[in-house]
């Protein structure tokens, strides 16, 4: 059986994968946007976690064939299921789940699998359900979630395709042909260093231009503020919120008094405007409470601004690089001067964005000047 995919062409799957794909839990991913609110910047970015999951399954199988792993089937199912626990607008809502449920999307994903027909689909196959579940907890040591894993391969290719930017184009054929396994971990033959460098650079450029675009961040934080208002007012159950689709969440918040105004603005793309957006030079960003306090003094309320301190790191670039004799010659972060330089450069960056209604921008800028 095949599914036609715009990135890889025909993607083949077996009966077990078909049963997983046809489950209600998997079909829900058709209504979760892959790149959050990036569609407000890049109109084509309406692709979903469903197609990304199909693509990750395919990329996983391709990479596992190169490695020659006996557990390729289980990793394939893990690739298909790795995002099953995502909430509305993907990573955007995850901070709320960590705060109010003490769970991330992997934790929620495990619960979804064990409480659904997906459990029986895997248990009744030749794969080990126990091992498939264990891959959620061994992120650095499996082919799906590693530095050069199938998850990253697919989202870079797919997000680049749908946003219409060239930053995420990578050489998947070279990467999959040079991937290896060393002492139970994914590794890379030295001939694949350039392809690996290209992937990490692509990830950096996609973060700079797509995932970290200021409008995407502002819209996402306005959405999160609206959702948090509803949770604190006990008008929204965070566990139920975690199971919603994008549109279900938007519609629910539109009908909650302390959330509707912000959500209506996001829906109509009347986003807050930047007051501050840049690197914090001393690496110590003011807290949300400090920013809110400074803005409150000049009459800007909690629902009239957003702030977020964030960074992008490549601290996971420690995949072993193998020499011609099959022994490790070091990690990618030490073998590649380019990767080492990128890691060091990014380690010094701490970004801060503050935004408010455009009528408050000038007085907000004056109010937070001593903080930033």
CATH of the domain at 96: 1.10.3210.10
Q: Is 355 helix (H, G, I), strand (E, B) or coil?
A: strand
Q: For residue 119, how far is the Cα from the chain centroid? A: 24
Number of helices (H), then strands (E), in the chain: 19, 9
The crossing angle, in degrees rounded to 10, of helices 246-254 and 214-232 is 60
pLDDT of residue 280: 84
pLDDT digit string, tens, across residues 66-100: 887 667 889 999 999 999 999 999 999 999 999 99
Percent of the chain, pLDDT > 90? Answer: 84
pLDDT of residue 141: 64
What is the spatial distance between Cα 148 and Cα 190, in angstroms, rounded to a whole number? Answer: 14
Torsion angle defined by CA atoms of residues 273, 276, 277 and 278, in that order, rounded to the nearest 10 degrees: 170
Q: Nearest to residue 356, comparing CAs of 270, 287, 282?
A: 270
SS3 353: strand
What residue has token string 């799957």? 13
> Nearest 5 degrees, angle CA 167-CA 170-CA 174?
165
Mean pLDDT of 108-114: 96
Query: What pLDDT is attached to residue 282?
Result: 66
**Is 60 exceeded by the pLDDT of residue 119?**
yes
- Is residue 128, in this structure, part of any structural domain at all? yes
Domain total for the chain?
1
More confident residue, 142 or 272: 272
Of the chain, the percentage scoring pLDDT greater than 70 comes to 98
Per the structure, the complete domain to which residue 46 belongs is given by 2-213
Record the tokens describing residue 2, joined without a space. Answer: 């095949």
| 132 close to 31: Cβ distance less than 8 angstroms | no
* 325 within domain boundaries: no
Residues of 5-42 as b/e, b for ≥16 C-beta within 10 angstroms?
Answer: eebbeebebeebbebbbebebbebbeebbbbbbbbbbb
Over residues 159-208, the pLDDT tens digits come to 999 999 999 889 999 999 999 989 888 899 999 999 999 999 999 999 99
Query: d(Cα 190, Cα 318) in Å, to the nearest integer?
Result: 14
Kindly state the average pLDDT of the residues 130-157.
87
Residue 126 binned pLDDT confidence (cut-offs 50, 70, 90): very high
Tokens 């460098």 map to which residue?
197
pLDDT of residue 318: 84
pLDDT in tens, 331-361: 999 999 999 999 998 988 899 999 999 999 9
- Write out the two tokens for 70: 């006996």
Residue 308 maps to a domain: no
Please report whether residue 295 resides in a domain: no
Q: How confident is the model at residue 366 (pLDDT cuts 50, 70, 90)?
A: very high
| Per-residue pLDDT at 283 | 61
State the pairing for strand pair 185-189/320-322. parallel
In a domain, residue 17? The reply is yes
Q: Which tens digits make up the pLDDT trace of 215-249?
A: 999 999 999 999 999 999 999 999 999 999 999 99
Q: Which two tokens stand for residue 371?
A: 């903080």
Per the structure block, which two tokens stand in for 342? 């990128």
Q: Note the residue count of the chain.
A: 372
Task: Identify the helix (H) or strand (E) that includes residue 11.
Answer: strand 9-12
State the average pLDDT for the chain. Answer: 94
Query: Collapsing DSSP states into helix, strand and coil, what is residue 308?
Result: strand
Give yes or no for residue 140 having a pLDDT over 60: no
List beta partners, residue 203. Answer: none
- For residue 253, being part of any structural domain is answered with no
Q: What's the rounded Cα separation, in Å, for the pair 329 and 319?
A: 11
Q: Is residue 297 part of a domain?
A: no
Contact 163, 155 (CB under 8 A): no
Provide long-range contacts, Cβ within 8 A and 24+ apart, for 287-292.
290/371, 291/354, 291/368, 291/371
Is residue 264 included in any domain, yes or no? no
């Amino acid at each position: 059986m095949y599914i036609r995919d715009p990135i890889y062409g025909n993607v083949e799957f077996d009966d077990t994968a078909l049963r997983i794909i046809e489950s209600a839990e998997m079909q829900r991913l058709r209504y979760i946007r892959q790149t959050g609110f990036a569609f407000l910047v890049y109109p084509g970015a309406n692709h979903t976690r469903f197609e990304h999951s199909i693509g990750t399954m395919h990329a996983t199988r391709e990479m596992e064939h190169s490695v020659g792993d006996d557990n390729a089937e289980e990793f394939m199912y893990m690739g298909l299921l790795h995002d099953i626990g995502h909430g509305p607008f993907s990573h955007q809502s995850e901070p709320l789940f960590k705060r109010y449920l003490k769970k991330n999307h992997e934790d929620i994903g495990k619960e979804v699998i064990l409480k659904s027909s997906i459990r029986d689909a895997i248990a009744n196959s030749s794969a080990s359900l126990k091992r498939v579940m264990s891959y959620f907890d061994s992120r650095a040591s499996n082919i799906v979630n590693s530095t050069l894993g199938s998850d990253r391969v697919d989202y870079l290719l797919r997000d680049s395709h749908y946003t219409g930017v060239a930053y995420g184009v990578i050489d998947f054929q070279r990467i999959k042909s040079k991937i290896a396994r060393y002492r139970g971990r994914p590794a890379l033959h030295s001939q694949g260093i350039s392809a690996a460098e290209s992937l990490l650079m692509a990830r950096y450029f996609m973060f700079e231009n797509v995932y970290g675009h200021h409008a995407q961040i502002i819209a996402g934080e306005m959405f999160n503020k609206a959702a948090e208002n509803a949770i604190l007012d006990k008008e929204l159950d965070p566990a139920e919120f975690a199971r919603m689709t994008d549109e279900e969440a938007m519609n629910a918040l539109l009908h909650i008094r302390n959330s509707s105004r912000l959500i209506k603005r996001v829906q109509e793309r009347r986003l807050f405007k930047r007051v501050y957006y840049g690197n914090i030079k001393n690496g110590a960003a003011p807290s949300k409470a400090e920013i809110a306090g400074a803005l409150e003094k000049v009459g800007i309320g909690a629902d009239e601004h957003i702030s977020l301190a964030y960074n992008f790191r490549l601290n996971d670039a420690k995949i072993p690089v193998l020499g011609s004799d099959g022994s490790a010659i070091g990690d990618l972060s030490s073998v590649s001067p380019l990767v080492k330089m990128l890691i060091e450069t990014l380690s010094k960056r701490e970004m801060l964005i503050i935004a408010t209604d455009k009528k408050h921008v000038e007085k907000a800028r004056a109010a937070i000047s001593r903080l930033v």
